[in-house]
Structure 1
Amino acid sequence: MASVKNYIGQFHPIVWVLLIGTVLTRGSAFMTLPFLSIYLSRHMDLSPIIIGLTVGMSPLMATAGGFIGGHLSDRFGRKPIMLTALFTLAFVYYGFTIAAGQGWFILLNALNGLCTSFFEPTSQALMADLTDKEKRMKVYSLRYTAINMGASVGPLLGAYLANTSAKLSFAITGTTYFIYAIVLVYLIQRLVIPHKEQSKKTVSIGDAFRIIKTDKSLRYLIIGIVLVNMGYVQIDSNLPQILEGKLENGVVIFSMLITINALMVVFLQMPISHVAEKFKLMQVMVVGAFFMAAGLIGFSFVNGWVVAILAMVLLTVGEILIFPSNSMMIDTLAPEHLRGTYFGAAQFRKIGNFLGPVIGGYLLSHSQGQMMFWVLAIITLGSIIFFTAGNKSRITSAESTI
């Protein structure tokens, strides 16, 4: 009991609230958004292009929205940005239950992407504000585990509700966000938050853009993670099509792979991160890129469920190594008064979530799936060049300030 109490006590209560909220809200979001296109095709007379535009509005707005939200949190504080985003997200999901025209769905999903991109970098920055530097890698790993706990349960509930009451799933998600916001309002008022959350140093949005533009380390890191995302996003975009076309019960196998991916992250994130902490961040990210590329190459040889599972295991280990380390690297680069801005700038990595499906889809339509995975594996390995260049630039900058 004492060890549990000590483990819980090493982090600020607000950090635990954010982690629990991440499980609940991500689980609710995974219960609805993956099935939005199904809902639109069943209940709205929309063309596939309009459905694609509607679904794509969320990541499109999130690409630039994260930078703006992160900067605003540096300038005006974490609390107003986070709470405004959460209450608006509740409104968005309630709006989905009564929306009757395509314009409303496009607008609401655009707001969803914008507010999510405001909340995520701000919450990461607040976690860093409230956590000692030597424990931040553990916090980022816990956050990534929380995301995947939600991802392991949400789609199962969503698949059931999609066939029974899709509007109920929207209402549940909206209520989850609303309760989360209320709890945060209450606890932020009651609990003592260290003064370092706020900074007297402020910069304009123009100055923030110029700072990011001149930070080579951050720029290289973002480019590297964009390349990683281009490979990783194939899990959601082109892999299902390939499995369905090549394997009997391909859809069932794909569902099994998604579950394996989420469960591996939930149960292995902390043990692997504990080992990874003994190495330099750059070494961990490079090894992660190799594992992810190996997983993509493994998918190119899929001829049954055994090879598919092995490929997913390799890719997931790469995922576990890269993504929390990426957050820690951004934390290392960010000046204290610009932490939100830096985490917001990192949202530009979602460009890879656009480019990956497009490039993968083009390769799949003009060649075999094997060629697609090989090309994207090479692109993923290309991230190592930028990770290394960013790390070298970071070291050079640090030495020049001594």
Structure 2
Amino acid sequence: MHNPIRSIHRFIQSYPPVIWVRLFGELLTSLSSAMIAPFLVLYLSEKIGSSISMTMIVIGLQPLSEIVITIVAGGITDRFRRKPVMVIALSLQAVAMLGMAWADSMLAFALLYLLNGAGRSLFIPVSRAHLADTIASAQMASAFALLNTAHSIGAAIGPLVGVIIYQFDPALAFLFTAISLFLYTIAVLWKIPNTELPQHTDTVAADQPATGSFQAYRPALAIMMLSLPVSLFYAQTETNLQLHLKNTLPNYLQTLALLISVKGILLLCFEFLLVKWTQHLNPRLLIAGSYLCFFVVALGYGFLDSAPALIALQVLLVIGESIGITQLLAFVTRISPVSMRGRYFAITGTHWDISRSLGPYLGSLVLLHFGGAMLFTIVAAILLVGAWTINAYLRSKEKAFPLEQEG
């Protein structure tokens, strides 16, 4: 007879403790950050007394600064042990959030906001590099899927809690986030093992470029460039899609809230399962297929004006996000030299900051002059070209970086 308790125990035992510590931390931090996001603009304009334009400038500073900080942070993660860097990164974020709870001027908030961005830029590449150091290659995609699931739980619950807190005292959200980050730091210190200092290996193929040369970074730069269509698509869905739906749907606010909720629930229920169900398929086809999923969703956003149809598109969006982004992260762990993992994750991750810095503004120009249908048609065309290009690139790398399957 099937014993669910034994199955759960067996599942927990199949992953090392580092995964469960990370899950605990990601759940706490995603919950707290999702509490802040919905009311950050209101908080800055109403409580601190900033103008809307100044508020937008401050909010836009973080992704721009993170592009530079992330590259520097990637080098730091490869020169020092991963665990101390993770502790420092989380501590920087915790101190910044604690300061934001009592910041009473725009300048103070802006400096603390940048400090928080510096901590995030440091933590993301080092935590991914640490995961690659401690998790078997065959489990990498499912490990990233588990972390994303924890993030989805926090993202689904956080905004509801945030609305309640904002009505009572908005500063409590920053305080709760600071406490969450301090707890995460304690968990990392207590339970996460330290890894050896990344060393340059002498057993390198004769035709492999030396570490530190431009050739050594070419795969990371290629993945970063080839990922831009996906992050550009997300940059539009996070900003200009709201304006487009406002012009095409009568109850656009309710539809937007419903789209976010449906996506969160679907990710929570199916992301890990989708990764497990597709783990024996070729990652190249999964990644290229995810671009095609985003292509269809972009066209749907451009031309559909029915709420049920837009909600149905969320299924395709979740499939693409689950099978594509996790497999791409797993691929980065396979192509990155051990002594350069932090830099590889830093470089490949900057496509999000580039798209979120430039994408909304450029997209708004197209939206204002040609309409939302044209904007999302252009995004869809870029995704289609991106699917073909990344498929060709990954095909050329399959023999050099063979896949290890889980199970």
TM-score w.r.t. length of structure 2:
0.90
* Equivalent residue in structure 2 for 1:114, among 112, 118, 143: 118
Q: Does the CA-based 8 Å contact 2:140-2:330 persist in structure 1?
A: yes
| Closer/same/farther in 2, CA of residues 314 and 398 from structure 1, 3 Å limit | closer
Q: Does the CA-based 8 Å contact 1:217-1:389 persist in structure 2?
A: no
Which residue is 1:337 aligned to?
339
Q: Secondary structure at the match of 2:177?
A: helix
| Structure with the larger helix share | 1
* Equivalent residue in structure 2 for 1:294, among 293, 296, 308: 296
How far did 1:53 drift?
A: 1.4
| Residues 1:373 and 2:372 are matched in the alignment | no
Which residue is 1:244 aligned to?
246
Q: 1:201 and 1:279 mapped to 2: Cα distance?
A: 32
Q: 1:106 and 1:372 mapped to 2: Cα distance?
A: 32
* Equivalent residue in structure 1 for 2:30, among 9, 26, 29: 26
Q: 2:285 and 2:395 mapped to 1: Cα distance?
A: 13
Identical positions, percent: 26
How far did 1:158 drift?
A: 1.5
Give the letter for the 1:226 counterpart. Answer: L
| Closer/same/farther in 2, CA of residues 64 and 147 from structure 1, 3 Å limit | farther
Q: Does the CA-based 8 Å contact 2:27-2:150 persist in structure 1?
A: yes
| Closer/same/farther in 2, CA of residues 210 and 38 from structure 1, 3 Å limit | farther
Q: Does the CA-based 8 Å contact 1:125-1:340 persist in structure 2?
A: yes
Which residue is 2:236 aligned to?
234
Which residue is 1:95 aligned to?
99
* Equivalent residue in structure 2 for 1:6, among 7, 10, 17: 10
Which residue is 1:44 aligned to?
48
Q: Does the CA-based 8 Å contact 2:74-2:342 persist in structure 1?
A: yes
Deviation string 1:299-358 (CA, Å, 9 cap, x unpaired) is 112322112202222222211122101101111110122212211112211212223212
Q: 2:289 and 2:324 mapped to 1: Cα distance?
A: 8
Structure 1 residues without counterparts, runs of 5 or longer? none
Which residue is 1:224 aligned to?
226
| Residues 1:135 and 2:134 are matched in the alignment | no
Q: 2:90 and 2:33 mapped to 1: Cα distance?
A: 13
Q: 1:108 and 1:210 mapped to 2: Cα distance?
A: 35
Q: Secondary structure at the match of 1:163?
A: helix
Q: Does the CA-based 8 Å contact 2:37-2:159 persist in structure 1?
A: no
Q: Does the CA-based 8 Å contact 2:363-2:375 persist in structure 1?
A: yes
Which residue is 1:320 aligned to?
322
Which residue is 2:68 aligned to?
64
| Residues 1:387 and 2:390 are matched in the alignment | yes
How far did 1:296 drift?
A: 1.1
| Closer/same/farther in 2, CA of residues 95 and 398 from structure 1, 3 Å limit | closer
Deviation string 1:23-68 (CA, Å, 9 cap, x unpaired) is 1101111111342111111123323221111111222222232232
More displaced 10-residue stretch of structure 1: 281-290 or 10-19: 10-19
Q: 2:288 and 2:168 mapped to 1: Cα distance?
A: 45
| Closer/same/farther in 2, CA of residues 15 and 198 from structure 1, 3 Å limit | farther
Which residue is 1:175 aligned to?
179
Give the letter for the 1:12 counterpart. Answer: P
How far did 1:243 drift?
A: 2.1
Give the letter for the 1:331 counterpart. Answer: T
How far did 1:209 drift?
A: 6.1
| Residues 1:85 and 2:84 are matched in the alignment | no
| Closer/same/farther in 2, CA of residues 398 and 346 from structure 1, 3 Å limit | closer
Q: 2:401 and 2:17 mapped to 1: Cα distance?
A: 33
Q: Secondary structure at the match of 1:29?
A: helix
Which residue is 1:199 aligned to?
198
How far did 1:378 drift?
A: 1.0
Q: 2:160 and 2:47 mapped to 1: Cα distance?
A: 21
Give the letter for the 2:198 counterpart. Answer: S
Q: Does the CA-based 8 Å contact 2:288-2:388 persist in structure 1?
A: no
Q: Does the CA-based 8 Å contact 1:216-1:390 persist in structure 2?
A: no
Q: Secondary structure at the match of 1:45?
A: coil
Q: 1:256 and 1:278 mapped to 2: Cα distance?
A: 33
Q: 2:22 and 2:161 mapped to 1: Cα distance?
A: 22
Which residue is 2:356 aligned to?
353
| Closer/same/farther in 2, CA of residues 392 and 319 from structure 1, 3 Å limit | same
Q: 1:163 and 1:44 mapped to 2: Cα distance?
A: 16
Q: 1:347 and 1:44 mapped to 2: Cα distance?
A: 32
How far did 1:160 drift?
A: 2.2
Which residue is 1:266 aligned to?
268
Give the letter for the 2:280 counterpart. Answer: K
Q: Does the CA-based 8 Å contact 2:199-2:338 persist in structure 1?
A: no
Q: Does the CA-based 8 Å contact 1:148-1:262 persist in structure 2?
A: yes
- Paired residues in the alignment total 390
| Closer/same/farther in 2, CA of residues 136 and 397 from structure 1, 3 Å limit | closer
Deviation string 1:159-194 (CA, Å, 9 cap, x unpaired) is 222232111111111111011112221224xxx55x
More displaced 10-residue stretch of structure 1: 20-29 or 70-79: 70-79
TM-score w.r.t. length of structure 1:
0.91
RMSD in angstroms over aligned alpha carbons?
2.1
Q: Does the CA-based 8 Å contact 1:60-1:113 persist in structure 2?
A: no
Deviation string 1:111-145 (CA, Å, 9 cap, x unpaired) is 11121111112111112211111111110111122
* Equivalent residue in structure 2 for 1:148, among 126, 129, 152: 152
How far did 1:372 drift?
A: 0.9
How far did 1:389 drift?
A: 4.3
Structure 2 residues without counterparts, runs of 5 or longer? 202-209, 403-407
How far did 1:283 drift?
A: 0.6
